[in-house]
């Protein structure tokens, strides 16, 4: 488990991403556009382009595309960090969607680890560590 700044524990590690997203607000039939900043099996953090119009515990669908794969995942607004940053908790995910998300997150993690390995020697050179 990972400890968040507010002291609560998060079960799933989050992967940093930056891709466009749409939050579909089910009960008021409205869409809010923004960018996903991080993603896990249990949810995501989205920075919206305009003030988020509702509070927490509202049913939503979150749509985004990463690595060419489109996702629409049902959930609930879990946290409003401020009027432009919302945390979504995914709910009612089918086994197929869950497996696709597991694979996507593994690919993102692997890509980040490769990037870190590739930049590590250059950082060591600049620091005079070699």
CATH code of the domain occupying 2-126: 2.40.10.220
What is the rounded distance in angstroms from the CA atom of residue 68 to the CA atom of residue 28?
29
What is the rounded distance in angstroms from the CA atom of residue 31 to the CA atom of residue 82?
18
Neighbours of 23 (CB within 10 A): 26
pTM assigned to the model = 0.78
Helix ranges (DSSP H) in 1-130: 95-126
Spans of all domains in the chain: 2-126
56 in helix, strand or coil? coil
Helices (H) and strands (E) in the chain, counts: 1, 8
- Work out the mean pLDDT of the chain and round it to a whole number: 86
- Rounded average pLDDT over 19-44: 96
64-109: per-residue pLDDT in tens?
Answer: 998 888 999 999 999 999 999 999 999 989 999 999 999 999 998 8
pLDDT for 2 equals 42
């Amino acid at each position: 488990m990972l400890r968040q700044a507010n002291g609560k524990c998060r079960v799933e590690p989050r992967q940093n991403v930056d891709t466009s997203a749409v939050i579909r607000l089910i009960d008021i039939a409205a869409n809010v556009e923004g960018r996903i900043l991080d993603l896990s099996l249990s949810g995501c953090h989205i920075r919206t382009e305009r003030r988020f119009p509702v509070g927490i515990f509202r049913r939503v669908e979150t749509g985004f595309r990463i690595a060419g794969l489109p996702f629409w995942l049902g959930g609930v607004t879990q946290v409003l960090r401020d009027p432009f940053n919302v945390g979504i908790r995914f709910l009612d995910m089918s086994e197929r969607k869950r497996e696709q998300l597991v694979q996507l997150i593994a690919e993102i993690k692997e890509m980040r680890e490769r990037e870190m390995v590739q930049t590590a020697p250059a950082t060591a050179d600049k620091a005079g560590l070699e």
